[in-house]
């Protein structure tokens, strides 16, 4: 009779501003971590109440926030995440909107209070790794910037050993915008100064073998990502060009050499 010892794996907590961010920025990495036996936990700061819903998706009396919670749960199942947590802040809206300063908005939250809430989840999960966003929040959305600030502080409070900021290679993004036929619904995409200079990236993860999962997780957010959106209208080859790589900046230390995985 063989004495078998279960493989011990670390828990990954992935912190995001709104439902659908997890699929777009980190979906391949989360799916890979889950497949490798890691426990994956999604934490959302808000329910994305101020998102612009796709026409005809919501029922007559359906509330967008409730729909986006359900979509987050559905995407979590696709990705293999074991738990979904909401911190109960309100969507702040885009930068410069009056909603940024609303009392319950995540952008106007007390950073220490919010960090303590996230740190409680990190401790409860005994998290080995936390993902946040880069310090610009990718494109300076106030909720995304707060994810960085709150997440970094929470990792300090909980003493989480590994912290990665999800980002985008600016050079890759600019090349994609030049070469991809962007559907009308995504035409405003080239207005964003997205991501960071490639020289700042420490960790480049190839997720092309998980693109079916990543695409399905995006599609689970049907109130935000339609079949004709920039995200899902791409053919398989173009989808791989745009979404087949996920980028991170390691924050807890500077790796001696470029990394190709977060664990």
- pLDDT tens per residue, the chain (263 residues)? 444 433 447 999 999 999 999 999 999 999 999 999 999 999 999 999 999 999 999 998 999 999 999 999 999 999 999 999 999 999 999 999 999 999 999 999 999 999 999 999 999 999 999 999 999 999 999 999 999 999 999 999 999 999 999 999 999 988 887 776 655 444 444 456 889 999 999 999 999 999 999 999 999 999 999 998 888 999 999 999 999 999 999 999 999 999 999 99
Q: CA 155, CA 68: separation in Å to the nearest integer?
A: 26
154 Cβ partners below 8 Å, 6+ apart? 15, 114, 115, 116, 117, 118, 119, 122, 130, 160
Q: According to the model, what pLDDT value does residue 5 have?
A: 38
Pairing of β 39-46 and β 11-16: parallel
Q: What are the phi and psi torsion angles at 262 (to 5°)?
A: -90, -15
Q: According to the model, what pLDDT value does residue 192 have?
A: 62
Radius of gyration of the chain (CA): 18
Q: CA 190, CA 173: separation in Å to the nearest integer?
A: 9
Q: What are the phi and psi torsion angles at 44 (to 5°)?
A: -115, 135
Q: CA 85, CA 72: separation in Å to the nearest integer?
A: 10
CB 90 within 8 A of CB 105: yes
Q: According to the model, what pLDDT value does residue 9 have?
A: 78
In which residue are the tokens 């200079």 written? 197
CB 165 within 8 A of CB 129: no
CB 21 within 8 A of CB 74: no
The structure's pTM equals 0.93
Q: According to the model, what pLDDT value does residue 44 have?
A: 98
CB 167 within 8 A of CB 202: no
Domain ranges of the chain: 11-250
Task: Tell me which CATH code domain 11-250 carries.
Answer: 3.40.50.10320
- Which token pair is 144? 């995304």
Q: According to the model, what pLDDT value does residue 230 have?
A: 82
Q: According to the model, what pLDDT value does residue 183 have?
A: 52
Q: CA 43, CA 145: separation in Å to the nearest integer?
A: 15
Q: CA 181, CA 28: separation in Å to the nearest integer?
A: 23
- Kind and range of the H or E run holding 167: strand 162-167
């Amino acid at each position: 009779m063989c004495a078998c010892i279960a493989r011990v794996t670390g828990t990954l907590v992935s912190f995001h501003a709104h439902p659908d961010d997890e699929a777009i920025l980190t979906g391949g990495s989360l799916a890979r971590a889950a497949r490798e036996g890691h426990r994956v936990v999604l934490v959302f700061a808000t329910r994305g109440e101020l998102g612009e819903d796709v026409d005809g998706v919501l029922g007559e009396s359906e509330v967008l926030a409730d729909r986006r919670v359900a979509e987050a749960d559905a995407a979590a199942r696709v990705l293999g995440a074991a738990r979904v947590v909401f911190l109960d802040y309100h969507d702040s809206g885009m930068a410069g909107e009056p909603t940024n300063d609303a009392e319950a908005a995540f952008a106007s939250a007390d950073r220490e209070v919010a960090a303590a809430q996230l740190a409680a989840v990190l401790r409860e999960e005994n998290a080995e790794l936390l993902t946040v966003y880069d310090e610009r929040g990718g494109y300076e959305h106030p909720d995304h910037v707060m994810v960085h600030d709150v997440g970094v502080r929470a990792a300090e409070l909980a003493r989480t050993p590994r912290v990665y900021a999800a980002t985008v290679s600016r050079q890759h993004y600019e090349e994609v915008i030049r070469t991809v036929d962007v559907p009308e619904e995504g035409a405003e995409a080239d207005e964003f100064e997205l991501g960071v200079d490639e020289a700042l990236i420490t960790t480049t993860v190839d997720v092309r073998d998980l693109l079916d999962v990543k695409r399905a997780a995006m599609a689970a957010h049907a109130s935000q990502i339609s079949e004709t959106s920039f995200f899902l209208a791409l053919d398989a080859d173009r989808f791989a060009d745009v979404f087949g790589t996920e980028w991170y900046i390691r924050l807890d230390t500077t790796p001696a050499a470029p990394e190709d995985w977060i664990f």
